[in-house]
A = this chain, B = another copy of it.
Amino acid sequence: MRAALEAARAAGSASEVPVGAVVVRRGEIVATGANAPRGTCDPTAHAEIVAIRRAAQVLGRDRLEDCDLWVTLEPCAMCAGAIAHARIARLYWGAADHKGGAVEHGPRFFGQPTCHHRPELYGGIGESEAGALLREFFAERRR
C-alpha cells in the first residue's frame, strides 16, 4: 500500500485526483498506476486500470489470477469490472468512496450475479493516509 500511496501522491502532483494502485505477484510489484484521465486524455485511466493494463503487458496475458491489486480508494464500477475481468486474486483498498465506490457502495458489483469473478476483499488498508490525500487535494482546489 506504501507504493500505491506514492503513486497517489504523484497523481496529485500532476493535478489529477490522487489515487494510486499497484499490482503485486508473489510479493513483488509487477506494475504501478497513477490516476491520470486528464493528463492522458483517457477517461478510463483510473489508477487500477493503468496498473492492470501494465501488469497484463508485463506478464503477456490478459488474466492475472496469481496477482493482487492494492489501491488507495474503493474501486468504481469501471475498475471493479476490470478487476473481475482480470481475475485479480485479492483486492486491498484504502479509503471508502461513498460517492462513486462500487464494492461496498452503489452496485456492490462483486455481489452481483452478473459478476463472474469475485476476488478476496480487504478494505480500509491505510485508509487514513489515503483519505487525507484526497481531502487535502479537494480542499486546495476549492480555494
Provide the A90-134 mask, 1 if CB < 8 A to any CB of B, else 0: 000000000111100111110011111000000000000000000
Contact residues of A: prevailing secondary structure = loop
Complex Cα–Cα for A133 and B44 (A): 27
Copies of this chain in its oligomeric complex: 2
Tell me if A52 counts as interface (CB < 8 A to partner B).
yes
Contact call A49/B44, Cβ cutoff below 8 A: yes
Tell me if A2 counts as interface (CB < 8 A to partner B).
no
Q: Bin the interface of chain A by size.
A: 35 or more
The interface of chain A, by Cβ under 8 A from chain B, is 37-38, 40-46, 49, 52-53, 56-57, 59-64, 76-82, 84-87, 99-102, 105-109, 112-116
